[in-house]
Structure 1
């Protein structure tokens, strides 16, 4: 069980919950069962005061697009904010760019981030536009301005963009709870590596919302 003070301001974060990261788009970056998390994301949002989200939004001219000569996940050099080659994905106007069926329209979120729009930018986390975490997307400031203490996080994929977003939120001073029912990973190996990294940085994990307990005094304050 994970305990939350009932007086805490809570945000729910949908990280890159897009079709391109599911088997619905097999030529992009399909995460096994990635298309099944919308209900879990909606359920965690019911517990939150604020719902925020992000989308990858990439141009077809991106420098990191994989090819036969430069396969996916091979290192990319010469660009400070793109480190690996990836299959082209999340191009605005395509089916892959769209949020998962069942999620709100982007205008119904309290704050929304589009990331990676420039051809030489491929950030993973939703809190900064660059890999050095110096150019804010504004979501941290939005949450701080509203006295948010706890952030429930889900989205795609756990072992890449979710992981980096969680680490950025922790670094910014938020309590972060990763809802494993609302996220999926590319592989089991990278999932375990990501969870270890997040846990060591201070993240907490729940398998479902049933493991959350609201009380007058949280474990963190006891």
Structure 2
């Protein structure tokens, strides 16, 4: 039976995926995830195992074409734009509180930040590409490779959307990926369970919390 062991710290990065106030109860009119503001201690704890810490953030325009309206409610499909699939409640608008990191996360701690969804006609979920087809790189994969990273420990919001997509993108790029479940929260129980199963099937290593990383040394 294969037993995974963490490599030396110099080969490990910690990835905080969309750990922003827009996805927490701090911003109840945006896209709050239950207990989304509770993940900070776990994100900080997992970073202790890594030589590099990187982050992604939704960075949206107030004129984005995916913003829901009474005629086009949240989660209804969008047609006519290859990099948009659903309408969403306005969130993570640059310059607003929702765009900010959750309290307790230090923006200066990140060696690289992937800003996604800047263009009004694009709404990617994964942090590694600007488009839904995974063609236009945000640069984070290249940054990790440039620094010799082989293993990425992930956490963030939300498990069943941006975390899922980012983790699978990293796995497809050839990294060993570890998901810290305690550093994540999902939107709904059924989709969160399905996301965890999909990640595990793809070869992602799931751990219950940062303390469990000690057992992988």
| TM-score band, normalised by shorter chain | over 0.9
**How far apart are residue 199 of structure 1 and its match?**
1.1
TM-score (norm 2): 0.95
Unmatched tracts of structure 1, length 5 or more: 216-222
Alignment of 1:67-86 (within 5 A): 67-86=69-88
- Distance in 2, Cα, partners of 1:191 & 1:103: 24
**Distance in 1 between residues matched to 2:150 and 2:27, nearest whole Å:** 35
Partner of 1:19: 21
1:200 CA drift (Å): 1.2
Report the TM-score when normalising by structure 1.
0.93
Conserved? CA contact 1:2–1:211, under 8 Å: no
Report the alpha carbon displacement of residue 49 of structure 1 after superposing the two structures with TM: 0.6
Q: Give the Å deviation of 1:2.
A: 5.8
Q: Give distance in 2, aligned partners of 1:138 and 1:7.
A: 22
Richer in helix (by share)? 2
What's the counterpart of residue 157 of structure 1? 158
User: Does the CA-based 8 Å contact 1:8-1:150 persist in structure 2?
Assistant: no
Deviation at 1:7, TM superposition (A): 6.1
Q: Is the 8 A contact 2:9 2:51 kept in 1?
A: no
Matches within 5 A, 1:1-222: 3-6=5-8, 9-105=11-107, 107-212=108-213, 213-215=215-217
CA offset at residue 75 of structure 1?
Answer: 0.8
SS in structure 2 at match of 1:151: strand
* Rounded Cα–Cα distance in structure 1 between residues aligned with 2:9 and 2:98: 38
| Alpha-carbon distance in structure 2 between the residues aligned to 1:125 and 1:38 | 20
Q: Please give the root-mean-square deviation of Cα atoms over the aligned residues, in Å.
A: 1.3
Question: Residue 96 of structure 1 aligns to a residue in which SS?
Answer: helix
User: Secondary structure, in 3 states, of the residue corresponding to 1:166?
Assistant: helix
SS at match of 2:99: coil
In structure 2, relative to structure 1, the CA distance for the partners of 1:47 and 1:7 (3 Å cut) is: closer
Consecutive unaligned residues of structure 2, counting only runs of 5 or more, are none
